Structure 1
Amino acid sequence: MLEALSTTNIIIAAIIICSAYLVRGIAGFGSGLIAIPLLALMLPLSIAVPLIVLLDYIASASHGVKHREAICWRDILPLLPFSIIGVLMALYLFNSVDAQILRYGLGIFLLLFAVYSLFSITPNAAPSLLWAAPGGTLGGFIGTLFGTGGPFYVLYLKLRGLNKTEFRATFATIFLIDGIGRLIGYMATGFFDLALLKVVAVAIPLMAIGMYIGGQIHSNLSQETFQRGISMLLIVSGISLLLK
């Protein structure tokens, strides 16, 4: 697989992976938003997507284990049943939903929310856990249809007013739980073959370097700067949905 790439493309791919996980090290998410569209310019999506999903899973395990004391289970548990409902809805509607209209609507919604949140950084009090219903349902639904459900989990956690360490650890745990089904699906359909696993083995050190540098930056960020960064990544998420 790597043999088919030129030396220049291999270097570019390495920079993309390292940069994507630097962002994930800072914010706790966003690696797929950066890596998949850029890697797809030189690798087929059937390789780029499973590669990043597996690396994301490893990265999330790292964040979840390292900061396990900061995981907010009170915010995760109400989310899970609605995530399952979203996944089941997506599987049922997979062939009948108008994907283009749905993407546009969701992209516009994310953009509007992100722009608003840039001027309203932190709520005075954590909103009701009832936000778990739309957050979990949309996260499971959109994640199953398009592989981009993360922004809705991010939106939910942002509304809950978690601090930056709680946010990163809690999102990582949500991703670990949500990602189990995707990993099983990729394995069942043969995407995780020996060639892909070789690429993963090469990519893990690049991911680790990016995550380490991102973690150092994260430690020095103020809460306000972190929240603004999350809002900017949500804007990128909205734009990516509009351009898909």
Structure 2
Amino acid sequence: MTLIDFLSQTSLSFIATTGAGINSVDLFIAGMSVVAGYFVYGLTGFGSSIVAVPVLTQVVTLRTATPVMLILDLAAGLLVGVRGIRLVSKSELSRLLPWLSIGLLVGVFVLVGVPEGPLKLLLGSTLLVYSVWRLVSRQGFSTIRTAWSVPLGLAGGCLTAIFGTGGPLYTIYLAGRLSDAEQRRATISTLITITALLRLLLFSASGLYKNPDVLKLALCLFPCGAVGLGLGAWFRGKVPAGKLLKALWFVLLLSGINLCTRTVLSFFL
């Protein structure tokens, strides 16, 4: 069964069992965004939400998209496992986690209480900044000070809670602290798993999982995530990841521009 066939069939059952009113076209778009997100995850070890969430918010609400991606992230963590646990830098984790936890708590309050329009504008702006940075940044190692763990941890925690997109900020910090690529990858993977568990507790306490559509949509999109994860793992080492990711950052740049434009226009229409 092809991915398109799967989405066509599951969309019918999803529409029939929920009041969300999502149609088969929207479900197909959501599925493709999840495939792309976990393709990046399979290549790099992070990045699923920053790719998928901007598209998902075009077909479902942000308060549905973010909890759905959290479930899929936890499932991906179980499928992939925490690799290279012995390589994890405990000292850098201990610097980031306190500030990250504070940021997560603040972010959950923002997600629950702030209107969706400003949040989408913030997401679009984050995409613009991140994609431009990735397109123009050099790949060489350059040390940064440990003091950067405070602003990057706080901001990363907030963005992780609201959009699930804080991984790039952790990566910016760890890329400036850990010169060994394997140690950096293992530390990022462990950090994302820890934040996912913390978000699950906070989201459950805040009532975001009381919406039955969240679990049903996550179930529909789970095979799409598995397909993307498998493709990313297969491409890793066979095709230069740099070229693929450069193209992806350009697509994210256009996505950020589109999201910001649509959100701003919605304020006046």
Q: Alpha-carbon deviation of 1:192?
A: 5.0
Q: Structure 1: 5+ residue runs without aligned partners?
A: none
Q: 48, 54, 60: which is aligned to 2:65? A: 48
Aligned pair 1:207/2:225, yes or no? yes
Q: 36, 59, 74: which is aligned to 2:53? A: 36
TM-score normalised by the chain length of structure 1: 0.73
Aligned pair 1:185/2:234, yes or no? no
Q: Alpha-carbon deviation of 1:109?
A: 5.7
- Cα separation, 2, equivalents of 1:88 and 1:12: 31
Further displaced range: 126-135 or 170-179 = 126-135
Whether the 8 Å contact between 1:110 and 1:235 is mirrored in structure 2 is no
Percent identity at matched positions?
Answer: 25
Instruction: Summarize the Cα distance change of 1:111–1:36 in structure 2 as closer, same or farther, 3 Å threshold.
Output: closer
Instruction: Summarize the Cα distance change of 1:211–1:70 in structure 2 as closer, same or farther, 3 Å threshold.
Output: farther
Aligned pair 1:114/2:134, yes or no? yes
Correspondence for 2:156: 139
State the one-letter code of the partner of 1:71.
V
Correspondence for 2:8: none
Matches for 1:1-244 after TM superposition, within 5 Å? 1-3=14-16, 4-87=21-104, 103=122, 110=130, 113-117=133-137, 120-123=138-141, 126-144=143-161, 147-188=164-205, 189-220=207-238, 225=242, 229=245, 233=249, 236=252, 240=256, 243=260
- Cα separation, 2, equivalents of 1:158 and 1:7: 41
- Cα separation, 1, equivalents of 2:168 and 2:250: 6
Whether the 8 Å contact between 2:67 and 2:208 is mirrored in structure 1 is no
Question: Would you say how many aligned residue pairs link Structure 1 and Structure 2?
Answer: 236
Q: Aligned to 1:77, what secondary structure does the other structure show?
A: helix
TM-score normalised by the chain length of structure 2: 0.67
- Cα separation, 2, equivalents of 1:60 and 1:2: 29
Alignment RMSD (CA, Å)? 3.9
Whether the 8 Å contact between 1:61 and 1:176 is mirrored in structure 2 is no
Q: Aligned to 2:140, what secondary structure does the other structure show?
A: coil
Instruction: Summarize the Cα distance change of 1:55–1:129 in structure 2 as closer, same or farther, 3 Å threshold.
Output: same
Whether the 8 Å contact between 2:128 and 2:256 is mirrored in structure 1 is no
Q: Deviations over 1:40-68 (max 9, x none)?
A: 22223332221112112222344442443
- Cα separation, 2, equivalents of 1:199 and 1:90: 23
- Cα separation, 2, equivalents of 1:93 and 1:34: 21
State the one-letter code of the partner of 1:16.
S
Instruction: Summarize the Cα distance change of 1:32–1:234 in structure 2 as closer, same or farther, 3 Å threshold.
Output: farther
- Cα separation, 1, equivalents of 2:110 and 2:65: 25
- Cα separation, 2, equivalents of 1:132 and 1:72: 14
